[in-house]
Structure 1
Amino acid sequence: MIEIKNASIVKKANIYFDGKVTSRTVFLQDGTKKTLGIMMPGEYEFATDLKEEMEISFGKLEYKLAGGEWETINGSGIFYVPANESFQLKVHTVVDYCCSYLSE
């Protein structure tokens, strides 16, 4: 997805890990929630409430889902995180991402 149309953006940033990961929340007209953000190099762990689609549009990182192996995205790619799970990230370069929260 290159462009998001007809959306509302929450002005206040979501700031994690002392500012090394930041995002802005976007709501589409149909109620869909997304976050658009940047991750600086480092190692992070996140937990989910809903299933998430992590779309990486730029950068290099490794990710590991619960019980899985380390996978690499270099440039762009997508991975999915199940609801109520945690995942780990090793971010090697600045990463630009869009997280979509999925109902199923």
Structure 2
Amino acid sequence: MSTALTVNSYFNDKVKSIALDNKEGTSTVGVMAVGEYEFGTSQREYMTVVSGALMVKLPSSDSWKVFVKGDTFIVEANQSFQVNVKETTAYLCRYE
């Protein structure tokens, strides 16, 4: 297990996250500024909204769904999904 924290920045610093490894596995905790983003996965991701809200278009859907504080959605490995952020939002992403 690594004790170092890795800071990642995406989309011209509009999305930032800190990666961590612990007994629960690998996770990132981050913040998304207002904007529209598309993310790709290499592992299954469990995304939980910590503060704010995310409007998400999942790979298997043609429609958008809003996830608010406490909500979790899952994106399988090797997929992409779209996110529309209307207010600055914090999230936790756990990888499997």
Q: Same fold (TM over 0.5)?
A: yes
TM-score by length of 1: 0.83
Residue in 1 that maps onto 2:18:
24
Unaligned regions of 5+ residues in structure 2, if any?
none
Displaced runs of 4 or more, over 4 A: none
CA displacement, residues 42-77 of structure 1 (integer Å, 9 cap, x when unaligned): 000000010000010111220011130210023331
Residue equivalent to 1:3: none
- What CA distance in whole angstroms lies between the structure 1 residues aligned with 2:4 and 2:94? 14
1:9: how far off?
A: 4.3
1:73 aligned to 2:33? no
Q: How many residues align?
A: 94
Give the C-alpha shift of residue 85 in structure 1. 0.2
| CA RMSD between the two structures | 1.5
Alignment equivalent of 1:88, drawn from 64, 82, 86: 82
Identity %: 35
Task: Calculate the TM-score normalised by the size of structure 2.
Answer: 0.90
CA deviation string 1:13-34 (max 9, x = no partner): 100000000000010046x100
Match of 1:57 among 24, 41, 50: 50
